Each structure stands twice: as C-alpha cells, then as structure tokens.
Structure 1
C-alpha cells in the first residue's frame, strides 16, 4: 500500500481539491488542472519513478491504490493519472533523464498516444509514419483519442518503424513540438474532464534521440512495459468506480424511507438482492485485481491470462454495478447530486478503451487455445 506520508498527502489532495472540483469537472468538461497540479506537488505523479532518478520508487501495487482511490471520487482525474502511470515505465527505461527528473519532481505530466483514426482500437498497428530528416525525424499521424491532449507535457507516441522491421516504434514527443496539434474538442458521455481528444502530427520534427528503445521494437516495449500497467490500472479505475457506487447506493437506500410502511428502502427484498449483486460483482473484480498483482509479482505461469482478464472483468463489473444502482435507487439516481449517474456514465469508457472488452475476451480465448495473441487477422 502507499507509504504513510504519501497516503496522508493523497488524502489531503483528494479532500481539499479533487472532491470539491469533481462536479464541475464533469459538468463543464473541465480538465482537472488544479487536481493534477496538487497531486504533482504532493509527490503522487512521481511516486513510480525510480529512486535513482529522484522519484518515490514505488511499484504497481501503490499505483493501483492511488488510481482506485481517485476513481472513487473523480473518474476524470483518475483516468489522467492512470494514463500518466502507464507511460512512466517506458520513459524510465528508455527516455530522457531530464524528463524523468521532471516527472519525479511532479512537474511533468505524460500520457499515451497510441490509438489512430485508421486502425482505431488496434493499438498494435499504427499507420502514422516517422521519416528520416537528417539528424531528426518528421512524424505524421492522426491520433484519435489521447487522454490529457493539449494538457500533458509529453506523449509516448507510436509510429511505424523508421527503417527497421517490426510493427511499430515508440517516441517521447513533447506536446509543444511544432507540427503537433489538438485536432478537436471532447464532449463525451462520461469522463468528461479527461481531455481525450484527437492529436495530429503534420511533419512534426523530433530528434532521433526521442526514440524510446530501438527502432521497430515498440510493440515489445508496449507489451512488456506499458500494457501490464495499463490493464491493471484500468481495472483499478473500474473497481474504484464500482466501490463508490455501492457506497452511494447503500447510503441512499438506508437513508430513504417508505413512510407509509415505516421502512427503509433497503427493507425491500428486491432492493436487497440488487445490493447483494452489486457487492458481489465489486468484490469479484477486486479479488481478481489482487490476484493479478500477485501473479505479476511472483511471475506466476498464468500472469498473462490474469492481465488480460483483469481489465475486462472489472470494466464489465463496473457497468453492471452502476446499472443496478441506477435501477435500485430509482429517480434519485438520475439527479446529479447523488453521484451515481456520473459514475454510471464514467464506467462505460473502460469497455471501449483499447484493448476493448471484446478484444480482451478473444485474447483470453487465444491463451486458452494456445494461439498467438496477435496475427494478421487481429
């Protein structure tokens, strides 16, 4: 779990900044700048950076705890932090020491820029190009969904290889690079403040030193350094949403009464059944998330299977839990002040974030059948 000092600082930021801003972040589609700045100042953004680079040196388990707790109060803030944490490992392994030091100090927000308009949720098949230009390269691409677009300080960017064989190459692209532009607004159903917008590269010039790892090895880096963090933290995001929804629903159903019967709403058997199902679905997802962490830390033989299952199971659990809460709490759940309808909307995002639930379900089947995860038909 998060060390005591950081936990106290996180608690203070959540109470003083994240919670008070959550409603307007959602209502106005406002990027949670104040919350992210406060989390940076509190040491949260740098907690997973190695201690040798000035960071907290903490691992995936602590990042899970942070994302889960943020998701309980503001899905947009949690998603921004989740994408930042997912990008940090590859920067720590292959990126600029200067950028890593800035992340460690809480003064640099990063994110992933993988999905493209042409290949959509097939993140492993970028269409964007990198072309040699002397000591530099020029990038051209249409990224379709980039969390924190225009707000992050850098993007972990995927392209076709510069010259080598392989499906893709990764780059660390400063967001202020000439030729990079945010190509549209975001007015979404949920996660309205996470700034997930298209980003275009039009002859954007980067030095070759911006390459992360070797040319053509981007998919390997993504699978080993990025995807495990992305999948597990996405599961934590969904579990946090589900946990908060159960808490909100229980509070409402034990506080509201049927006065003509002198009963709580929770005294109705049908309602109790729904609460029971919500609790069991949340606990199932949480247990799988915990087991996935164990599988990873012990290099268990089924760690890949657990990784692929975690995001899909948690995403579907959050959708079911928030749907049941909307039904069980009735008309009160449709009002903004209860908080359930916001979580109902936010929970839908994880299902369609690449790799989607459908893709992950197919990947799980491929593992069971002894088939490769990716082939020409994927």
Structure 2
C-alpha cells in the first residue's frame, strides 16, 4: 500500500473528509464488494488518502491524534454504508493501538501518513476464538533472529495488509502466556492458505494464514516477552470492543433508517394508505428505534467512562460488544420482518446489513465469552483464570 495523505484534504475536518469518501467511493461500491466478495481496496485507499487511517496515530509522527470517540464515529458511519470496509478499518485501528505503544517509529509514521494498512493476527486453529491462548510458537534462531510458526484461522485483510500484529507463545517458557510481534507482509514463510466466502462481511478478507519459519528480528517484539496478553487486554481489547459497538450501532441505525424510508414511502394502491399508517407497524418501528438509541447511549457512556477513568470503565468495555452484537442482530432482523418481502431484495440493502450483523456474535471474544467475562468481573473474579493464562 503506497497511498499517502492528500495534504490539501488534511486541513479539512475529518468528518467532512469521511463524508466525501463515503459519498464518492464507499456507498457506490458497497453492493459490489458484498456481491463479489471483493476486498474494498478503492475505499481503503480513499480513506488512507484522506488521512483517516492515521486518525488515531500520534501527531508526533504525522497522525490525527484523535481519541477513541472520534474513531468510533468513523467506524459507525462506515458500517452504515459497507460493513466489510468498516471491519477492515476497525481491525486496522485495533492493531494500530499496539503499534503506537510498542512499534517502530517508521511503521508508526507510515500508518499516520496513510501508507500502511495493518491488522490483527490472533485467532488460531488450535485455540479458535480463545485468542488469549495461542498455540503458535516463537523460537530463537542461530543468527539472532526469531522464528515464528503458526496456523492462523481468521485474519481480516489477509494478504491485503502491509503488516500483522502476530501472537505466539513466548520465547521463554516461563515468561508469560503470550508474546506479540510485528510481522511485515511479504515475509518469507507467510502465506494466505484459504479463501473466504462468508455469509456476511464478504469483502473483509478474513482468511486463514500460515506462518512457516517466518524470520523476524528480535526488535519486532511488541512489548516484553510474555507480556502479550497484558498488552492485548490493556491496549487492544478496549479499542476492539468499543469499535465493535460502534460497528453494530452503524448497522442497526442504518437498518432502522432504511425501514423508516420504506414504510413512509410505500403506499397500498387498493386502500391509498401508506405502510406507516398501521399502528402496529409504527409500534414495531418504534421498538427498533428505541433499542438502537439505547445502544447509542450505552456506547456513549462507555466512551465517557474510558475518557474520565471511571471505576466501571473496563466493565463497560466488556459489556458494550455483547450488548451491541445482540442489538444489531435483533434490530436488523426486526427491520427485515417489518419491510416484508421487499427486504429480501438486495436493492433495499437490508438483507446485507442483516447478514453483516451476524458476525459480532461469533467474533472473538464471542458474546458468550463476554457474558462470562462480565460475570467474572462483577463477582470479583479475575477476567481469566490461571488455566486460561
């Protein structure tokens, strides 16, 4: 990826730049990305050129210096138009959080200036959605480099990203549960080993990858050996869970808006009444609106908790994706039912949002895992027991 920030655009408001990219590229391409299962390269490049991939990067390296609230708004607006593009950018921001804290300056600068797309490579065949329990290995090589071997089961932007934040068992057996690495694309031994033909998020490029004898310098380690779990929980998880909340909000809100347009603009010829004229229909729409607005309020409170350092901030972070995933699934399902047979036609865009919304429930940490985490925190237990660390 060689895109760099357009300096003329960098002086404009990020929200305005995002709106231009959505209008010119993201929205017109959304149905094509979904239908063809194509990686949204045009949209990603346009976001990079507008300075939005570097929005969360430090101003010290040329980034936008924006916090999680501004980034969440980007994800929400993208998800309302194209779930695949939103998920690619979400994973980029989550990986950027680690690289900003522990990565090399040249990579941070490349991200900040729009020339570098990164992503997370955590999920593995051996441990599936339990990202906190890697089975891939790291071992010291004779030449001072480190050898990485793993079978990653799902990597968003696989084969498309410029780098991967890669998890492994630690170099030292007693160092801790996990170590993180910066693995550049094109590294020898790194390969995409399958295709993705999914129900939803069809263009996000979530494919399996294999690392077989990847060699990286010891300096590619992100934080200390064995400290990867603490880094993942402290740096990655808040960004990942909160941005997933914003992602689900964008899907739900756009589904409600589309249903509202359909009910308002559709008239029954034989009676002359619009669909909105039926009290039951209005009631059902209101229920969807209230659930969506409740998620919006909860997401906003989660962001406030993080920004102010509230004692319940981590609890809110764990709750928000669980709430958001169920809300998006239920609201998009309700919008489909409300619009009847018309919703099954692709031109309305509801069935695409319905399919995209299903991912949040099963994306690690899954809704079931988050419910357990919330229960553990609420009852005074550690987030993970020692057997899982």
- Shorter chain as denominator, the TM-score bin is over 0.9
Query: What is the Cα deviation at residue 377 of structure 1?
Result: 5.4
String of CA shifts for 1:122-157, please: whole Å, max 9, x gaps: 010000000100310111101101000000000000
Structure 1 unaligned spans of 5+: none
Aligned residue in 1 for 2:232: 222
String of CA shifts for 1:146-194, please: whole Å, max 9, x gaps: 0000000000000000115211000010121110100100000000000
Aligned residue runs from structure 1 range 242-257, under 5 A? 242-257=252-267
String of CA shifts for 1:234-282, please: whole Å, max 9, x gaps: 0000000001000000000111112222211111122112211110110
String of CA shifts for 1:65-89, please: whole Å, max 9, x gaps: 1000000100000000000011111
Secondary structure in 1 matching 2:202: coil
Call closer, same or farther: CA 1:340–1:116 in 2, change over 3 Å. Answer: same
Aligned residue runs from structure 1 range 190-205, under 5 A? 190-205=200-215
CA distance in 2, matches of 1:23, 1:377: 44
Query: What is the Cα deviation at residue 4 of structure 1?
Result: 5.5
CA distance in 2, matches of 1:223, 1:316: 22
1:210 to 210, 214, 220: 220
CA distance in 2, matches of 1:222, 1:178: 26
Secondary structure in 1 matching 2:81: coil
CA distance in 1, matches of 2:306, 2:374: 17
2:299 to 268, 289, 297: 289
Secondary structure in 2 matching 1:177: coil
CA distance in 2, matches of 1:7, 1:281: 25
Aligned residue runs from structure 1 range 25-174, under 5 A? 25-133=33-141, 134-163=143-172, 164-174=174-184
**Which 4+ runs in 1 deviate beyond 4 A?**
none
RMSD: 1.2
CA distance in 2, matches of 1:76, 1:147: 10
- Using the TM superposition, name which of 151-160 and 161-170 deviates more: 161-170
String of CA shifts for 1:293-318, please: whole Å, max 9, x gaps: 00001110111110011011011100
CA distance in 1, matches of 2:338, 2:254: 15
Do residues 241 (structure 1) and 260 (structure 2) align?
no
2:361 to 322, 340, 351: 351
Secondary structure in 2 matching 1:27: helix
Query: What is the Cα deviation at residue 3 of structure 1?
Result: 9.3
CA distance in 2, matches of 1:34, 1:230: 24
String of CA shifts for 1:187-242, please: whole Å, max 9, x gaps: 00000000000010011111111000110000011111110000000000000000
CA distance in 2, matches of 1:175, 1:115: 18
CA distance in 1, matches of 2:11, 2:165: 28
Structure 2 unaligned spans of 5+: 1-9
Aligned residue in 1 for 2:3: none
Aligned residue in 2 for 1:305: 315
Aligned residue in 2 for 1:6: 14
Aligned residue in 1 for 2:7: none
Query: What is the Cα deviation at residue 376 of structure 1?
Result: 4.5
Call closer, same or farther: CA 1:376–1:39 in 2, change over 3 Å. Answer: same
CA distance in 1, matches of 2:11, 2:99: 23
CA distance in 1, matches of 2:25, 2:128: 35
- Using the TM superposition, name which of 276-285 and 257-266 deviates more: 257-266
Number of corresponding residues:
377
